[in-house]
Amino acid sequence: MNKLDWYIIRNFFKTFFFAIFLFVVITVVIDMSEKAEDFVRSGLSAYQIFSQYYLGFIPHMTALLFPLFVFIAVIFFTSQMAGRSEIIAILASGVTYNRWLRPYLIGGIFLGLLLLLASMYTVPNANKKRTMFESKYIDANSSYERTMSTVNDRGASMYLKIDSFTYAVINNYDTATKSSSGCFLYKIVNNKLVENVKADKMFWDSKKNKWKLQTIITRDIDTVREKLFQTAEQQLTFAATPRDLLRGKYTKDILTSPELKHYIKIEEEKGSENINELLVEYGRRNATAVSVIILTLMGAVVAGRKVRGGSGSHLAMGVLIALLFILTDKFSTIFSTKGNLPPTIAVWIPNFIFSFVVLYLYKKAPK
């Protein structure tokens, strides 16, 4: 590592983190304006909103567009270097083109590893805060969410076996709050229904690590008559944990990579239909880190040539390439989740295609 390497890496990181900072500020301001009514309705202080929601929202948004901002940052500062003829001077001094690309590769690998670790652990943990807040204060106040919840109430039911004789129907289970809007228990002995239990709410008691039922109506059924009992609250003996019931829309976002891998294994054993969506999310966390390296090299090769349009021409080309990358990623994801394209292939298609693009641009670049 010499002065040239440190000069490029310093400008790379400075431009990238400044761009990410501006993006986060703008995103937070826009999000606050959209959710202002929900924040006021929640009755929480500004500090509570920031700590319970935005500390989870900021990592989520940063990771979402991390590769593209790496690409834009590389194009921006490299284009400035080309405009000042610094790259021409570097190559004319005897530095080879490959040697000039080395600090870009080092910076791309560092940021790729940073994104990989964040996607595996930091972002899922942050999403737990964000999704908990959205489920409690935002989705609960949305007429669309309420309508969809009503329409899909039957479709959201889960059928589970509690013990040798008891079966449960859990309605509209919420991953974030670890609770359901209703629960039915059926005790069947010798193919006859002997007990029927209806509870208005089922929730997870985190202190005792047990399930509890609220507002319970129990019907004891025999051959002659029925007995009806009403109870305010009681404990449910149930071996499953909240992780075993994860089927909400936020499931794949709040699990760390080891947890997601374990959950995928369980869902495969159950024969779940949405397994491709989970596999795509797991694979994307690894593939996106490689995307950072590919986009870093692509940005350096594209912006390293001095052109008449200057930075504007480079940025326009960069935006076009970024749009093509996003479209490729979206199409491959849709073909996997809605079609028969294997998830492993789907998440790596954009990297595979743009690797050849980088190789082509590298061969055509003046050295």
Find where tokens 């490959």 sit. Answer: 98
Question: What's the pLDDT at 233?
Answer: 87
pLDDT digits (tens, 9 = 90+) for 226-276: 788 888 888 887 766 776 665 556 778 888 999 899 888 877 765 566 788
Closest CA to 114 of 59, 38, 57: 59
Q: What angle in degrees, to the nearest 10, is found between the helix axes of 97-117 and 3-34?
A: 40
User: Cα(172)–Cα(181) distance, rounded to whole angstroms?
Assistant: 6
Whether 255 and 263 have beta carbons less than 8 Å apart is answered as yes
- Cα separation values, 265 from 58, 162, 177, 271, 272, Å: 30, 21, 24, 10, 10
CATH of the structural domain 163-237, one choice from 3.40.190.10, 2.60.450.10, 1.10.3720.10, 2.30.30.30 = 2.60.450.10
Whether 77 and 36 have beta carbons less than 8 Å apart is answered as no
pLDDT digits (tens, 9 = 90+) for 296-308: 999 999 888 877 6
Question: What's the pLDDT at 270?
Answer: 57
Question: What's the pLDDT at 247?
Answer: 59
Whether 318 and 71 have beta carbons less than 8 Å apart is answered as yes
Is pTM, for the whole model, over 0.85? no
Closest CA to 317 of 347, 361, 355: 361
Residues of the chain with pLDDT under 70: 140-157, 175-176, 223-224, 239-240, 243-249, 269-273, 308-311
User: Cα(67)–Cα(70) distance, rounded to whole angstroms?
Assistant: 5
Q: Which residue ranges make up each domain of the chain? A: 3-141+271-364, 163-237
Whether 78 and 299 have beta carbons less than 8 Å apart is answered as yes
- Both tokens of residue 101? 């690309």
